[in-house]
Amino acid sequence: MAGHSAWKNIKHRKAAVDAKRGKIWSKCSRAIIVAARTGGGDPKFNSSLRLAIDDAKAANMPRDTIEKAVKKGAGGDDSETFEAVRYEGYGPGGVAIICECLVANVNKTAPEIRTLFDKNGGNMGVPGSVTFSFLHKGVVLVQAGATTEEKLFDVVLGAGAEDVVGGEEGWQVTCAPADLGKVRDALESAGIPFEGAEVSYIPTSTTEVDDATRARVAKLVALLEEHDDVQKVHVSAEIHDA
């Protein structure tokens, strides 16, 4: 996977989150509820919950709202049940797209996502039609200047990281999804600040598109991200604001 970076797309998604703070809180609550219901309400022993809480904190979600979501999930409240669903397909220019969703009603969400693809130059595929061209990895972004390359390598590789890719903005550390907690804990213990840590889909190769097509892809991605059930969108091309 060396050379293929999720940095710009992760940063793009975080910027989109910042611009839509109100809507993202409900998505963060949903992720926390599902994680707590699945793995328990203690983030020390539930890495998925810890990541969901970190995402909520990054979106400046109030602490009491986070705590209520944890209690709701851990308490087994069945008034709202969500299913993790992955939709995938191709956007303009043959760009591969994966949408990670938490869905209450699949029969409602699936046609809505398909319509977004169809009306914006894309085509939603069947499960597995796109994921073969991505790697499912834990990703940590470390800004340039946060540490030395030598120290970073020593810390993260000792914690189970698989790869470190450097660039102008800094480093992208990748690991198995199950090792993400250990890598981020090692960075925290070493006093190395990082931009964020998440489980992401990284393309094994990048789809090259011109600026006009890239703008169309960005528009489709923005519309997908606006959907209430969509948690994350991953693409095989670098995108920018439409």
**Domain spans in the chain, listed from the N-terminal domain onward:** 7-74, 83-131+207-235, 133-203
Return the half-sphere exposure (C-beta side, CA atoms, 13 A cut-off) of residue 64.
0
Q: Which CATH superfamily is domain 133-203 in?
A: YebC, transcriptional regulation domain (3.30.70.980)
Closest by alpha carbon to 86, among 76, 74, 96? 96
> Residue 188: enclosing H or E segment and its boundaries?
helix 180-189
Q: Which CATH class is domain 7-74?
A: mainly alpha
3-state secondary structure of 136: strand
Q: What is the pTM of this model?
A: 0.84
| Cα–Cα distance measured from residue 84 to residue 134, given in angstroms and rounded to the nearest whole number | 18
Q: Which CATH class is domain 83-131+207-235?
A: alpha beta
For residue 212, give every residue at least 6 positions away whose Cβ sits within 8 Å of its Cβ, in sequence order, or none.
Answer: none
pLDDT at 2 (0 to 100): 40
Domains 7-74 and 83-131+207-235 share a fold: no
Give, for all 242 residues of the chain, the pLDDT tens digit.
344 566 666 666 666 555 565 678 889 999 999 999 999 999 989 989 999 998 898 888 999 999 999 999 998 766 678 899 999 999 999 999 999 999 999 999 999 999 999 999 999 999 999 999 999 999 999 999 999 999 999 999 999 999 998 877 899 999 999 999 999 999 999 999 998 889 999 999 989 999 999 999 999 999 999 999 999 999 998 876 54
Across the chain, where does the E strand assignment appear? 83-90, 96-103, 123-124, 134-143, 163-166, 170-175, 196-203, 230-235
